[in-house]
Amino acid sequence: MSEKIFHLHLQDSMRNKRSLVCYLKNGSISYSFYTGWTSSGIALALSNMQVGYRNGNTLPVENITGETKKQFTKRVIDMINNDSVESVVKEVNTEVKFA
């Protein structure tokens, strides 16, 4: 079973568009990082984000005890904005509902 935790639109200093999607799959957190803001981008290595180059952070692969999905997402967004070469432009709605 797979659940999307968040979907972020990112941009680097050269305004290159990228997307980061986080999933919960069979009890494990995983990430997909690719070019563009559509679903047809080219896959990129997570290391291209250079998370931790300032403060030594790494993208989390587990949550903190009692942490909600919203708190986890905010923690990752803050990490990206403050300790990577990317910045978050938009958080995409992951709870799409139809009438």
Residue 94 has a pLDDT of 84
> What mean pLDDT comes out for the span 62-66?
92
pLDDT tens digits along 8-25 = 999 999 999 999 999 999
**Whole-structure pTM value:** 0.91
Distance CA 99, CA 63 (A): 33
Residue type for 36, please?
Answer: G
Report whether pLDDT(2) > 90: no
Residue 51 has a pLDDT of 96
In whole angstroms, how far apart are CA 23 and each of 4, 8, 19, 60? 4, 12, 13, 12
Residue type for 33, please?
Answer: F
